[in-house]
Amino acid sequence: MRHIVPYCVLMTVLTVGGCQVKAIGEQAKSEQTEPAITRTARATTSDNEDRSYDNVTTTCQNIKLDQAIRLGLNADPRLKAFDWHLASAISREEQAGLSPELELEFEVENFAGSGESHGFYAAEGSLVITKTLETGKKADKRTTLARIEKELAQTDRLLAAQDKASQMANAFIDIAIAQLNSELASENLSLAMQIADNTDKLHKSGLVIQNDVLRSQIELNQARKSHLLEQGRLKSSKDHFQALCSGYWLDEITVDGQTDIIAPLPDWPEIESRALASGRYKYIIDQTRKEMATAELEKAQSNSDITIGAGVQFFNENDDKAAIVSVSVPLASKSNRKAIIKQSLNNMAIAREEEKAAKLDFRNELKQAYNELAISREQVLILQEQIIPSVEKIFDNVSKLHLSGKIDMLALLEAKRSMFEAKADYIECLEQYHKARITIMQMTGEILVEHNSSEEIEDNNAK
């Protein structure tokens, strides 16, 4: 065959490069200039060690809430995955508006047969370029869907950071509350030891009976038990905080929770307005937009596309050539197209109803958190301003009367228990208040602080 010689060449070159990142931290030269959060990088020469993120030791003393959030955001490698999702969404948006590419078709027939078709003597070949012309504005609808998916990817990244910030804030409050409970248990233990010593002295003076000594010892052992329990809970809360800071080894964690600061209660319309303008609420609306755009694209795809082609045909027998023009239009079933359109309309209706349900759930969750914030705030203020000062005063009076022998041990222990129960109730209400506040901050999008590097945190602490 002289004119029909198919020839194809495919070459692929792939080059993969690796990179290695090392973190080098510097130690402070003196304790006076050392910041509260210091990093010391651990160099390693193991080729098999995972280098997905730096292995860093950080000393965290009296850190504040915004610093705790930044530690979590800086250390979480999962947040970086959302950046790649966003990059993929941007690429899909760029590709969505492109029209179908040209296609090159090569065909040979009437060869390798018998008789006159033996070999390539009677062979006929054709070389045709085809192009698909889309109908129904498919490219515009693909672009719209891809743009919405890109916006959802951006919101996904934001919400993931907010969720991480909320986790860090709750873990921060857990440590702050555990610290308060541990301090309260230490105070209880110290007071129980003092009561036991005073009771022993009064017993030696003949002012109290042996049973009072036994009661004071039982109270002391109970205080020791509570102290050990609160120490364990404090360690557990610190371990949980450590687990959220993947990539950091945190030593000597203490927090400056400022849990006794109670902010004024914002009005409900203000909270609702901020929440409805948040990325979390926008995500609900964008999900519906995505479903609507998907349904519109499905409707457009039910329209048949037109394919046109042009090329040349070769006749090997007499070396003649001829032009080829083709037009292809699929004969789609009308009933099938109606079924596709009906399904798309149903999907739109489902998306609208699901959006209503999601908005309702969002508002209910926000209202529940607001109510819990208001109730716990009132409880904290009542305990702080009225109940705790009263029970402390009662305990002081009872202690003086007990030392003078006018009140027995049972009355003293009852006054002591009332005082510490009120203080424990105060700490519990503080926890409920701050957890509700974190929930509202997360739903309004205010939980997320600016993403600073840990070096910036160190600079702020040094200042």
Q: Encode pLDDT of 270-302 as tens digits.
A: 999 999 999 999 999 999 999 999 988 888 888
Query: Could you count the other beta carbons within 10 Å of the beta carbon of residue 440?
Result: 20
Residue 52 has pLDDT above 70, yes or no: no
Contact 67, 457 (CB under 8 A): yes
pLDDT for 38 equals 30
Q: What percent of the chain has pLDDT over 90?
A: 37
Residue 417 burial class via C-beta count within 10 angstroms: exposed 0-12, middle 13-18, buried 19 and up = middle
Report if pTM > 0.75: no
Single-letter amino acid code for the residue at 82: F
Q: Mind listing the pLDDT tens digit for each residue in 221-260?
A: 999 999 999 999 999 998 888 888 865 666 667 777 678 8
Please tell me the distance from the alpha carbon of residue 457 to that of residue 448, in angstroms, as a whole number: 15
Q: Using the structure block, give the residue that is written with the tokens 């969002």.
A: 362
Please tell me the distance from the alpha carbon of residue 440 to that of residue 446, in angstroms, as a whole number: 8
Residue 153 burial class via C-beta count within 10 angstroms: exposed 0-12, middle 13-18, buried 19 and up = buried
Q: Mind listing the pLDDT tens digit for each residue in 313-353?
A: 888 777 788 888 888 888 766 777 788 888 888 989 999 99
Q: Which domains can be identified in the chain, with CATH numbers?
A: 37-446 (1.20.1600.10)
Q: Are strands 248-251 and 56-60 parallel, antiparallel or unpaired?
A: parallel
Sequence-distant contacts of 345-351: CB under 8 A, at least 24 apart? 345/295, 347/291, 347/294, 347/295, 347/298, 348/291, 348/292, 348/295, 350/291, 351/287, 351/288, 351/291, 351/292, 351/295
Nearest to 180 by CA among 259, 239, 238: 259
Q: Mind listing the pLDDT tens digit for each residue in 143-183?
A: 999 999 999 999 999 999 999 999 999 999 999 999 999 99
pLDDT for 288 equals 92
pLDDT for 196 equals 87
Query: Could you count the other beta carbons within 10 Å of the beta carbon of residue 287?
Result: 17
